[in-house]
Structure 1
Amino acid sequence: MAPTGPFKLVTVNTAPDRAKRLIGRVVEDVKDQYTIIHAANAASIDEVRKTVEEHQPNVLFTASMWTPEESQQIIAIAKEIVPGLKTFSLPQGLQVERGPDAVVEYIKENLPALLG
């Protein structure tokens, strides 16, 4: 069966290199099931509107450095621009408490529900 997608992903992460690295691992691990293109990263809440307008993603991830309130704000901004956007927020502190492998696993566990 062919992979589902392509899905155009924007991440919101204050550490763009880490976002690119972690999403790269996820993309590689799930490539048999999903085609995911990491289009861009917004490094701050202020960059979200411009980044989403420019790239028109189908999926947006907020990283674990954001509080739940900040994640909600980011998602609200993004959905104003792309109303049907699929969004996913990593639990606050996941990267710090459990490391990058836990982040990759958490995303992979939740992808079927998100992209299915």
Structure 2
Amino acid sequence: MSPKGPYTLVTVNKVPERAKLLIGRVVDDVKDRYTITHAANVDSIDGVKATVEQVRPNLLFTASMWTPEEAQEIVAIAKSVIPDLKTFSLPQGLQVQRGSDGVVEYIKENLPALLD
């Protein structure tokens, strides 16, 4: 069975290097099931609309540094551009509580519900 996709992903993370590293691990780990391209990272809420308009992703992830309210705002802005955009918000504090490995595992555990 060939992988599902391709999916174009935009992340919203104040630490772009970490987003690139963690998503790179996820993409590599799930490449037999999904083809995901990490097209861009936005490091502020203000940049979400322009990036989504430019990249036209079909996936958007918000990092665990955002409060639930901020994550909702980010998702609302992105969906105002692409209404059927698939979005995934990491729980606030996950990176602090479980570290990078915990974040990677959490995303991998939740991808099937989002993409299948």
For the criterion TM > 0.5, the same-fold answer is yes
Corresponding residue for 1:5? 5
Q: Report the Cα distance in structure 1 between the residues aligned to 2:80 and 2:56, rounded to whole angstroms.
A: 11
Shift of 1:27: 0.2
What's the TM-score, normalizing by structure 2?
A: 0.99
Q: Report the Cα distance in structure 2 between the residues aligned to 1:8 and 1:51, rounded to whole angstroms.
A: 12
Aligned-residue Cα RMSD (Å) equals 0.3
Q: Report the Cα distance in structure 2 between the residues aligned to 1:91 and 1:83, rounded to whole angstroms.
A: 22
Q: Does 1:31 align with 2:31?
A: yes
What's the TM-score, normalizing by structure 1?
A: 0.99
Q: Which runs of 5+ in 1 are unaligned?
A: none
Q: Which runs of 5+ in 2 are unaligned?
A: none
Q: Report the Cα distance in structure 2 between the residues aligned to 1:31 and 1:7, rounded to whole angstroms.
A: 11
Corresponding residue for 1:93? 93
Provide runs of 4+ in structure 1 moved above 6 Å.
none
Corresponding residue for 1:54? 54
Corresponding residue for 1:18? 18
Partner amino acid for 1:22? L
Shift of 1:98: 1.0
